[in-house]
Amino acid sequence: MTTFKDRSTTSTPPADAAGKPGTAGKFSLAEVVEILAGGRLPLLFTAYDGSSAGPPDASFGLDLRSPRGTSYLATGGGDLGFARAYIAGDLDIRGVHPGDPYELLKALADSLVFTRPPARMMADIIRSIGVRHLRPIAPPPEEARPRWRRIAGGIRHSKTRDAEAIHHHYDVSNTFYEWVLGPSMTYTCACYPRGSASLDQAQENKYRLVFEKLRLTPGDRLLDVGCGWGGMVRYAARRGVRATGVTLSTEQAGWAQRAIADEGLSDLAEVRYGDYRDVTDTGYDAVSSIGLLEHIGVRNYPSYFGFLQSRLRPGGLLLNHSITRPENHHRPQARGFIDRYVFPDGELTGSGRIISDAQDTGLEVLHEENLRQHYAMTLRDWCANLVEHWDEAVAEVGLPTAKVWGLYMAGSRLGFESNGIQLHQILMARPYQHGDVGELPLRPWWTP
């Protein structure tokens, strides 16, 4: 949400809201924030000690309501401290709806750059805040354990630990997801055929795009790993494809199985509860992986692609659809708010790393494209759904969890818009023993 620059600020304390200079060596909470922001607060900040900083007529505001919030902000570091204070109710936002705080986050990202004060002033800041607020305190109960404490659930990306991570994110409540995702019950990026398309039209178009890229025809067999609520499975089955989905979420599996039965697709479609690594049947004509790679772990990419390739017949096609970074050299693991509240153990890397590992397992990459703008639009529409159903969502999952989702989706939208993260679809084939991939057209055969 914000960045930190290592540069000095003036040692002169800022004026308070009434225009009076602060007392040297002792700052109010608002003065501390203004010093750290280099005097460039893009919103109005108020605190429980009666102080305020920033433009009085600002469109957006932050209200620090309690000493506990100060401890969260001082010890959490970056977005995690902000999230803890906000989710616990110690930091209020003004000017935006909690289901879609996008405009406030954008104002912070565009204008707020934290600065490092000189050592002497930093000592005064610490004295003003109070040493007691620099000691970590228990986080809100919605927060997942830090990574070092998750070892009790198994090593990272073991089957048991992956199941717990999936449970944390996807087993919130099917009813809650119905309000956020809409009638399609489709998670991950949609693909908008035009700017005016609805969310449901865009999600249907995404399935159409995947279906066409995989060259599926009636009678073919499709394996959809990390199948969610079975949207791709049901889309394919409606078109005569024998589709099998697998998910580690009990809530998703139950919902998908009921939807398959309700649509009369049980003769062609099934969704299994379990780990994709437990799929034993082979010879599939196509495999789709839509939004699963983020949970796999980068060091497991070779075994992941090797396993999926082994489920395919020679000449079969694999489509991987996943969030990526815009480069390939940063450490892959997520930190802060996303790791503790949204995707425990999630890891992202660049599309180049994904393609390299897929190629090194013997898959032939046929095509790839970046759909990041589509994901920004998808998140915009999910936030709109959450706002529309806010009262019901809060009643279903509680205010803290609803706030987590509004913050996560709005922040992710900003990340896609600013090219901080991307969404890539990569189409691959399992070659025959002699190297070719069969009778594929010379150029892309799908409609964009």
Q: Give the pLDDT band of residue 401 (cuts 50, 70, 90).
A: very high
Write down the residue that tokens 């999926």 correspond to.
308
Copy the structure tokens of residue 47.
């605190």
Main-chain dihedrals φ then ψ at residue 188, nearest 5 degrees? 75, 175
The distance from CA 153 to its chain's CA centroid, rounded to whole angstroms, is 22
268 neighbors 240 (Cβ within 8 angstroms): yes
pLDDT digits (tens, 9 = 90+) for 404-419: 999 999 999 999 999 9
Amino acid at 265: L
Other beta carbons within 10 angstroms of residue 40's beta carbon come to 11
What size, in residues, is the chain? 448
CA atoms within 13 A on the CB side of 432: 7
pLDDT digits (tens, 9 = 90+) for 69-92: 999 999 987 789 999 999 999 999
Of 123 and 152, the one with more pLDDT: 123
- Rounded CA-CA distance 302/358 in Å is 7
Main-chain dihedrals φ then ψ at residue 133, nearest 5 degrees? -85, -5
Closest CA to 399 of 108, 62, 88: 88
pLDDT digits (tens, 9 = 90+) for 102-145: 999 999 998 777 777 888 888 888 889 888 888 889 999 989 87
Q: What element of type H or E holds 258?
A: helix 250-262
Whether pLDDT at 5 is above 50 = no
429 neighbors 317 (Cβ within 8 angstroms): yes
Say what the pLDDT of residue 350 is: 97
Q: Give the pLDDT band of residue 165 (cuts 50, 70, 90).
A: low
Main-chain dihedrals φ then ψ at residue 17, nearest 5 degrees? -60, -25
Cβ-Cβ contacts under 8 Å for 322 (sequence gap 6 or more): 289, 291, 292, 293, 294, 354, 423, 424
| Domains within the chain, CATH numbers bracketed | 3-134 (no CATH), 159-429 (3.40.50.150)
pLDDT digits (tens, 9 = 90+) for 201-257: 999 999 999 999 999 999 999 999 999 999 999 999 999 999 999 999 999 999 999
pTM of the model: 0.89
